[in-house]
Structure 1
Amino acid sequence: MNNDNLNKLITESLAIEEAAAKEAGKLGFMARALVQATLPHSEVDGNEFERTNGAFTLSMLAPSSVGLPYGNIPRLLISWLTTEAVKTRSREVILGDTLTQFMHELDMAPTGGRWGSITRLRDQMTRLFSCFVSCSYVGSNMTGVRNIMIADEANLWWSPKNPDQAALWQSSVRLSERFYEEVIENPVPIDIRALKALRRSPMALDIYCWLTYRLSYLKKPTQIPWGALQTQFGANYATTQEGTRNFKKKFLMHLKKVLLVYPDAKLEDCGQTLLLKPSPTHIPKLYDLK
């Protein structure tokens, strides 16, 4: 982590300590299913992906011509869409009059070209909204499966060459009924400032959302094997002792960033396991959206 990024993280952490998320107007939400198991961190070969968290499994299937969503952009998109759905109580989410305005909401600066942010955003939006998600739970006495599309329809009317120009029609996304029901019934409260501070690292984003959710209901110290965390957060690592060691090293590196914005999280590396301890919640459990 370079000095500029470290300074930004410290600045954000101080701001978070000074004001609660709701009071600062920065209360956001994340879809619970995508906190329990996460999206790919980097581009995946093929069009299928799977991650597991205990009895819960998240499977993703995308058209082979489009590919799977990956990286930080889909995570920021899902958080923004979830937050808007919870606030407006509407499946129809308006993205803004201009591309620049919407990218500002995601804390992205619009840049053109083949590798520019505009191209990457449109590519990841296409991947995310084309993706089929299956959530399954297999317990000792029951099996449950829920199949979800993020969106039924997406209309993006912006001009990539003129990101500041308003289109004739508003760009919008119509969330699928099942995804909308999931995020309305089970939203995970997060601090948008923390998400933006960690936005350069997909794994740090995942760890922050998971810790915020997991510690909100933790009642007693709980040890989680590193191998289990690997299947949840790092499915691209080899399922060997060396692969788990490499995953653990990377996880702990990103955890340091997360603890800068969530310093009250209490956890400890116990060698073979990560020990979670009851901690103050990062977001108060009782919140009022009105």
Structure 2
Amino acid sequence: MSSRKQTLKPTEEALISEALAIEAEAAADAGALGYLARCMVQATMPHRKVEGTHFERKNGSFTLTMMAPADPGLPYGSVPRLLLAWLSTEAVRTRSREIELGDSMSAFMREIGLVPTGGRWGSITRLKNQTARLFACTVNAIYKEGGRTGILNRSVADRAVLWWDAKDPAQAAQWRSKVVLSEPFFNEILDRPVPVDQRALKALKQSPLALDTYAWLTYRASYMTKASTVPWEAIAGQFGSDYKLLRQFKAAFLTELRKVAAVYPAAEFDVSDKGLTVKPGQPHVQRKPSV
């Protein structure tokens, strides 16, 4: 065992340690039960900065389109994913569209698993920037099946007021920062939300692709009754439209898939040249009957 540990990279050791902790205690018992809106699991946000104000991803008959003002632009990366998970969890917990974000920036950052760091590329700047991008964007979901088409248009938030001081993130503001989720997006969250373990999200937070893959695998496990092979082209269309070559995406996806498997060992899948075969298995978090 000790010789194997010496060959592990620090990130791999951290993932394995987190996996052991997750296995030892159920998410609900650990106070780590979280939720995601289904539409944001079926297709996902950009991994990297996107030029322009329009972004699209497809998953079979489902197309997710995101649009945003030129300033601030489209959300991307891990931060808006962690934000959405926290907001969705609070919406399910409180059954309220109006959600308070805490009285200080650093306190909220700890809630979503970020360590406050300053500077141009620090987490404080990224959170402030990505929060504005997420709350300003509009999401369009289009379902096509046979001759039928369903179109849902929704903004993430009707209103957001952020009193945070980026220069002094630990300082409590006179008024609490809050966001009012749009009614359509709020209803989307409450309509069969996808349960996730927030400890897994925090363990995978360095990679937006790993976060997306984790959420997708546990979501599929919640409804699958037989094995299904998803071609690499389809997976790339859903997760990796910012890779120029399919082989580049495949290599990146398999790297992140190994990380996901470390924190979600019950995930059942096989990898082949054709694609990823996902098998019926145990969702990472069991859905509560009341949800």
TM-score by length of 1: 0.95
Shift of 1:2: 7.6
Letter in 2 for 1:253: T
Aligned equivalents of 2:120, 2:273: Cα separation in 1: 44
Aligned equivalents of 2:161, 2:8: Cα separation in 1: 38
Q: 1:83: which partner in 2?
A: 89
Q: 1:158: which partner in 2?
A: 164
The correspondence for 1:267, drawn from 266, 269, 274, is 269
Mapped pair 1:211 → 2:213: no
Letter in 1 for 2:147: N
Aligned equivalents of 2:8, 2:276: Cα separation in 1: 27
Aligned equivalents of 2:54, 2:234: Cα separation in 1: 21
Shift of 1:206: 0.1
Aligned equivalents of 1:208, 1:276: Cα separation in 2: 12
Post-superposition Cα deviations, 1:54-91, rounded to whole Å, max 9, x if no partner, equal 00000011111211100000000000000000000000
Q: 2:255: which partner in 1?
A: 253
Shift of 1:123: 0.3
The correspondence for 2:35, drawn from 15, 21, 29, is 29
Post-superposition Cα deviations, 1:227-267, rounded to whole Å, max 9, x if no partner, equal 111100001123xxxx2222111111100000001111111
Letter in 2 for 1:231: G
Q: 1:133: which partner in 2?
A: 139
3-state secondary structure, aligned to 2:178: strand
Mapped pair 1:71 → 2:73: no
Q: 1:146: which partner in 2?
A: 152
Aligned equivalents of 1:157, 1:262: Cα separation in 2: 37
Shift of 1:151: 0.4
Q: 2:115: which partner in 1?
A: 109
Shift of 1:49: 0.4
- Worse-matched range after superposition: 153-162 or 204-213: 153-162
Aligned equivalents of 2:197, 2:171: Cα separation in 1: 30
Shift of 1:8: 1.3
Write out aligned runs for 1:87-102 (5 A). Answer: 87-102=93-108
Aligned equivalents of 2:23, 2:215: Cα separation in 1: 17
Aligned equivalents of 1:287, 1:120: Cα separation in 2: 37
The correspondence for 1:48, drawn from 47, 50, 54, is 54
Q: CA RMSD in A?
A: 1.4
The correspondence for 1:186, drawn from 192, 200, 203, is 192
Shift of 1:159: 1.1
Aligned equivalents of 1:109, 1:283: Cα separation in 2: 26
Aligned equivalents of 1:112, 1:287: Cα separation in 2: 43
Shift of 1:116: 1.7
Write out aligned runs for 1:164-175 (5 A). Answer: 164-175=170-181
Aligned equivalents of 1:124, 1:6: Cα separation in 2: 27
Post-superposition Cα deviations, 1:130-159, rounded to whole Å, max 9, x if no partner, equal 111100011113100001100011101111
Aligned equivalents of 1:286, 1:151: Cα separation in 2: 27
TM-score by length of 2: 0.95
Aligned equivalents of 2:51, 2:168: Cα separation in 1: 33
Q: 1:232: which partner in 2?
A: 238
Letter in 2 for 1:7: E
Q: 2:3: which partner in 1?
A: none
Q: 1:281: which partner in 2?
A: 283
Letter in 2 for 1:279: G
CA 1:126–1:250: 2 relative to 1, 3 Å: same
Shift of 1:286: 3.0
| Percent of aligned pairs with the same amino acid | 52
- Worse-matched range after superposition: 100-109 or 194-203: 100-109
Shift of 1:36: 0.2
Aligned equivalents of 1:26, 1:32: Cα separation in 2: 19
Aligned residues: 285
Shift of 1:272: 1.0
3-state secondary structure, aligned to 1:96: coil
